Chains A and B, each alone.
Chain A
Amino acid sequence: MKRLFCLFMICLMFSPISLWADSITISVENREFYPFFFIENGTPKGILLDMVNDGLKPLGIKSTIKPLPLRRGLKMVERGNLDAIIAPRIKNSNFLLPDDAFEKDISAHRILQIDSVVVTYKSDYEFLGNIKTLPVPIRITLGDPIESLFKKMGFSVDDAASGAHNIKKLMRDKKGCVITTSLKAMTWLEDPKYHSNIDVSTEPVVSRSYFLIFSKKASIGQDKIKQIWKEIAKNRDDYIYPIKLFTAY
């Protein structure tokens, strides 16, 4: 009996991780992208993380979140050192994304669609979709992948550790713009410090679908991965779930 037990334990130790523990490691960017992801007192938090964890819950899967710079996170997922990453869609043969991720502008299996808008100092300027008209300097948060879009167009960007730094600079310099999420922009518009001095564009500079992208070497099977995406989508499209989700931020 003792020998049988030892054999069982050895088999268990060498079996794929998903057989004995439903736990996955997920990377998220370590920059401030409030309220979607951010770090508070050393702990990663945010709406996207909540949505992912709530999608994992019914399947009994636990997650460990590792905040990393985007490129590093992607590399680790590619190699299979991490199971998944929360990121916009990226084509890579080592990644697993929902089938419709590249077919549609807005995938049914995304976590959430997030728009970035333009915040300017109050003036006659209105951003109507032409990036070339953006007032400079363009301020973004450090590590935002949107930087590559501006660099491609020959713009230099001014990056700061957080949106809070950027809005303060905009108020100080009274010129240029800040690129931020529509949700963050809304909070500035409601802040009496900024309310009457800023304009926020209706048109987004960029609208991105965020996904839970898995490594092909992930420790859980593809069926489970599809179930996770389904659970996330179900919550997102629910009438009640978003009330509780957004109330928390």
Chain B
Amino acid sequence: MKPKLWFVVLALFICNPLHAKTLEEWAKTFEPSALSYEERVKELKWFQEVSKELAKKLDGKTIRSAAEHIKTHFYERDVLSKAFFDITGIRVKHNIIGEGPVVKEIMTQLRTGRVIEHIYVNDADLIGTHLRYQGVVNLSDYMKGEGKKYTNPYLDLKDWLNLEFGQDYSGNQLQLPDQQFSNLYWFRYDWFTDPKNKADFKERFGYELGVPINWAAYEDIAAFFTGRKQTNPDGSTVTAYGHLDYLKPSPSLGWRFTDAWLSIAGVGDKGLPNGIPVDEWGIRVENKVPVGSMVERGGAMNSPAAVYALSKFMEWLKFAPPEAKDLEWHTAGPRAAKGDVAQRIFQYITWLSTDAFHQKGSPVVGKDGYPVWRVAPTPHGRYWDEGMKVGYQDAGSWTIPKSVRDSYRAAAWLWAQFASSKTVSLKKFLVGGTPVRKSTINHPHIDKNIKKWAGLIEFYRSPAEKKWTDSGPNVPDYALSVTWVANLEKSLKEFHNGASIPELAQRTMDQMARDQDDMMATLKLRKYSPQLNPIKSKDYWLKQPGSPKPKRAPEKPETIAYDQLIKQWQ
């Protein structure tokens, strides 16, 4: 054969579906799995059969989906979309874009009806928006009606973790979780159990060094480790930081707060999942209708607890690496793996699957190949009371705008189900570290390797996990978070210029609450549209039971040994 012909044959082999895997080959690829090989083949055959007609109809068309840039979604793009095409003949373009653009695109699509994408992996934080805009497909209805034919008989919704994140007030599934991510306390177990560190800490603070239960202890530990020489398993010696955060102006600065920071401080009311009647954003809601953010309207966004939350965020920056000012959520995510951070109160687990946290030779991996860090419950702020949500977690969730109809809707729904099917979910978790099914976290393969996840599996298996929740259905439009970003940016500028913290924090939260209420007043939504309470004195509301709560005295620092704590999760 002439060299040119060889080249053509090779090119054809690489570029063509000749290269495609068979269904059986894909079934073998998804090992380990919650399903046996035979069960996987059965499930994949269902996808193949049901898609035949649809693929023919959509010949040459591509289903467009969008998701944020995390490992889980790259796996969906690089592996699962290919498998889906090989098995069903339906082509998917899984666009990986930032979370900000995902929100912007879906909101544009909801407002204009223009089809930008056919399906989104959109955080369930937007459930309050979706149930009020009424712009996305009600999946519960779809599964029973028009989409019944395209609904996987092996879907098993009971196997889902936190399915309720994607449900409206009546339990209708508007979004189907695709990947769960919690926000937990992260710390260096090796440093915390080091006898010299323990003795020195006790001598200085009068209590045991351990996992902080409250912010007072977190602050002491941050002060203790900052500037202290510590060694890593790789032999490196570092000057440690007692805290890590990020404050670069960006949408993620807003999420840093809307993702329950106020609630962790204790701003909201008791009652799961979000606090009743005042939720984790400090919004008071009556009969599903938001009535105010300002204390003067019964909200808590500028309450003493909220001011305390922002003050501590600013005060603790002195314990964080100086580059915190240039970090966003995704650059701060893997930062602790550099080996000079002792603890982090606000760690998204999304980033704990990155190689930096696991590969041998990393400063945070022991000689046995296992992490020397652990995750633990989020410490509470001074205003937190028993019965409140403890922390934040959310689920990137499959969301189909109503403007996507008929064949496109069916194909998008099939893609969503495939990418979160029992066949593929365990493998996807091993890559991305963001589970979606109970059968994943309870799998024997996970048992065998449980040390690798350093407490995360115990968290997901524990009933306590239900106390970590997302921005609930009370938030009437997620775009309100923009008012947070704008005010925080301004406030941080003043902070860098030396403004006094408590006054600055009060001013900022006052403005933010006012701005949020002003925006809520302009919203005209199809359901449960905000109707603001009349203004009353702050004193009136602060004297009422629950949130907004009056000023509290500093709490006594409390810690707990990790090994004792983890038993509570087991």
Which residues of A approach B to under 8 Å, CB–CB?
A: 112-115, 117, 126, 128-129, 181-183, 185-186, 189, 199-204, 207, 237-240, 242-244, 246-247
Interface contacts beyond A126-B57, A129-B61, A202-B406: sample of 8 additional A-B pairs, CB < 8 Å, sorted by A: A115-B112, A115-B115, A200-B403, A200-B405, A204-B114, A238-B482, A242-B108, A247-B522
Tell me the bound Cα distance from A243 to B516 in angstroms.
Answer: 13
Closest 7 CB pairs of A and B: A182-B113, A239-B482, A202-B408, A186-B113, A246-B111, A239-B479, A115-B114
Provide a sorted-by-A list of 22 A–B residue pairs whose CB atoms are within 8 angstroms: A113-B114, A114-B114, A115-B113, A115-B114, A115-B115, A126-B57, A128-B58, A182-B113, A182-B114, A182-B115, A185-B113, A186-B403, A189-B402, A199-B405, A199-B406, A200-B405, A201-B405, A202-B405, A202-B406, A239-B103, A243-B477, A243-B519
User: B479 and A243: CB pair below 8 A?
Assistant: yes
User: B409 and A202: CB pair below 8 A?
Assistant: yes
User: A183 and B112: CB pair below 8 A?
Assistant: yes
Question: B97 interface residue, CB < 8 Å from A?
Answer: no
Neighbour of B111 across the interface among A114, A117, A242, CB < 8 A: A242
Of chain A, the residue at the smallest CB distance from B107 is A242
Of chain B, the residue at the smallest CB distance from A236 is B108
Tell me the bound Cα distance from A117 to B114 in angstroms.
Answer: 9
| B residues 105-120 in Cβ contact with A at 8 Å | 107-108, 111-115, 118
User: B118 and A202: CB pair below 8 A?
Assistant: yes
Question: B524 interface residue, CB < 8 Å from A?
Answer: yes
Neighbour of B112 across the interface among A182, A201, A202, A239, CB < 8 A: A182
Residues of B within 8 A of A201 (CB): 405
Of chain B, the residue at the smallest CB distance from A125 is B406
Main SS class of interface, B: helix
Question: B407 interface residue, CB < 8 Å from A?
Answer: yes
Tell me the bound Cα distance from A243 to B481 in angstroms.
Answer: 13
Residues of A within 8 A of B118 (CB): 202
Of chain A, the residue at the smallest CB distance from B100 is A239
Residues of B within 8 A of A185 (CB): 113
Tell me the bound Cα distance from A181 to B115 in angstroms.
Answer: 12
Residues of A within 8 A of B115 (CB): 115, 182, 202-204
User: A126 and B104: CB pair below 8 A?
Assistant: no
Shortest distance between the CB of A208 and any CB in chain B (Å): 11
Residues of A within 8 A of B107 (CB): 239, 242
Residues of A within 8 A of B409 (CB): 202
Tell me the bound Cα distance from A247 to B114 in angstroms.
Answer: 17
Residues of B within 8 A of A114 (CB): 112, 114
User: B406 and A126: CB pair below 8 A?
Assistant: yes
Of chain B, the residue at the smallest CB distance from A127 is B406
Tell me the bound Cα distance from A247 to B479 in angstroms.
Answer: 14
Neighbour of B523 across the interface among A117, A204, A243, CB < 8 A: A243
Residues of B within 8 A of A237 (CB): 104
User: A128 and B407: CB pair below 8 A?
Assistant: yes
Of chain B, the residue at the smallest CB distance from A201 is B405
| B residues 398-434 in Cβ contact with A at 8 Å | 402-409
| B residues 455-498 in Cβ contact with A at 8 Å | 477, 479, 482-483
Neighbour of B57 across the interface among A128, A183, A186, A244, CB < 8 A: A128
User: B403 and A247: CB pair below 8 A?
Assistant: no
User: A202 and B403: CB pair below 8 A?
Assistant: yes
Tell me the bound Cα distance from A163 to B371 in angstroms.
Answer: 64
Residues of A within 8 A of B406 (CB): 126, 199, 202
Shortest distance between the CB of A210 and any CB in chain B (Å): 12
Residues of A within 8 A of B402 (CB): 186, 189
Tell me the bound Cα distance from A247 to B525 in angstroms.
Answer: 8
Shortest distance between the CB of B511 and any CB in chain A (Å): 15
Residues of B within 8 A of A129 (CB): 61
Residues of B within 8 A of A183 (CB): 112-113
Shortest distance between the CB of B68 and any CB in chain A (Å): 16
Tell me the bound Cα distance from A115 to B403 in angstroms.
Answer: 12
Residues of B within 8 A of A182 (CB): 112-115, 403
Tell me the bound Cα distance from A160 to B406 in angstroms.
Answer: 28
Tell me the bound Cα distance from A186 to B103 in angstroms.
Answer: 21
Tell me the bound Cα distance from A112 to B111 in angstroms.
Answer: 12
Residues of A within 8 A of B482 (CB): 238-240
Residues of B within 8 A of A117 (CB): 113
Residues of B within 8 A of A240 (CB): 479, 482-483, 519
Residues of B within 8 A of A202 (CB): 115, 118, 403-409
Tell me the bound Cα distance from A126 to B58 in angstroms.
Answer: 11
